[in-house]
Structure 1
């Protein structure tokens, strides 16, 4: 079975004038979930907001040292009239507090079945411009047990970082996290990652392809690509432990900040 599992369109910082994302058709794949943000205003019921600075049972600052507070405020997250989701980190000039937004799919349990393939994909615009120090945009999937397990969940729940981009740079990162902290089969906390360069200020398509067609866990693989060009691949053989190759996931979108300078806003 093949499934094109996630297809979403995003833009960061400010609304743009591009048309809504048309879901690609792929031979042999069936679309199982998508959101093109076709209704201006707030996000659909397919998503839920993460609010504050942690899950109720999770580590503070979302476990990554983030300085912002996540909100559902329309100034931080909204769907524009041109049908794009905007996630906007903001600094309050009076208090110095940073706010941003992070959402995750309500649906969980997205999983590539044995013998099949699955693609998780999003079309995202990362803005050009100065004053992006500390801003870290991300599109990723995490094991569904993470929210329930809190401190005990990561990295054994698994995490696939499909796109991370920091500080306004042109380098993006794709990473798999798994196993135990520190060390383990995925060398935590670093994970097993690869990088490539992108052009900011335009929409790029970020994809993760999960392949389980071989029937051998050592040959199962995760392949990262940008605009159809592969740049990173990890197989079960690379990880070396069949407990950590595949998982059931939810999908997250976020913009977070790590100690930005006071005038970056």
Structure 2
């Protein structure tokens, strides 16, 4: 292949990739908004417990699985419980950061779209946290659920009354599940291997973990999935085109151009 074509492809890819320092600031701002925004809506404890009672009964009306029964299956193995706690505590942020770095470096034509989806999903989640504070299942002792992180470790939360690092009454929607879905959707969309659909295991496993550890209700994950679906559809036309080299570039760097035959002169 002509070196000029490769140069054209590199130039086109470079134009699709935003400046690294501006993206670093944007991503840091996204994560800070996630933490600070949760703190800004903290303190509505009474409403959070009332909404928890509503969500619990709505799930029973919708015949969703009982979180307590599902957790009892997990509690049969202490090793499994500890693994679920570690997954909840460790995977969420690093997996999302690794996804953004991969898309920025290797799939720049898809990067901006999925970075925007993450930003909008986080903003929508924080808005819902404000209007609909929700105590997680682990705080509802009457349901027979166990705070597995507090009992078995490791735990990322302190006592709700003294925890100044996070808003523990912000279960709806589950941004753990939402971000995992964005990661899976982005990798499936941006890659072409036959095994790319295995990335769906990440949000599925995340949903099972957050429910099994009593950090979220099933509806928290369902609402997050609905928001991600809306954002995927809304941004489907905003994505940059594939980094291919225009036909004019290929022709100008060595592709043979067919010469037209001179028209025969008709005898007069």
Smaller-chain TM-score range?
A: under 0.3
Q: Which has the higher contact order (CA 8 A, sep 6+)?
A: 2
TM-score, with length taken from structure 2: 0.24
TM-score, with length taken from structure 1: 0.24
In terms of fraction of residues, the more strand-rich structure is: 1
In terms of fraction of residues, the more helix-rich structure is: 2
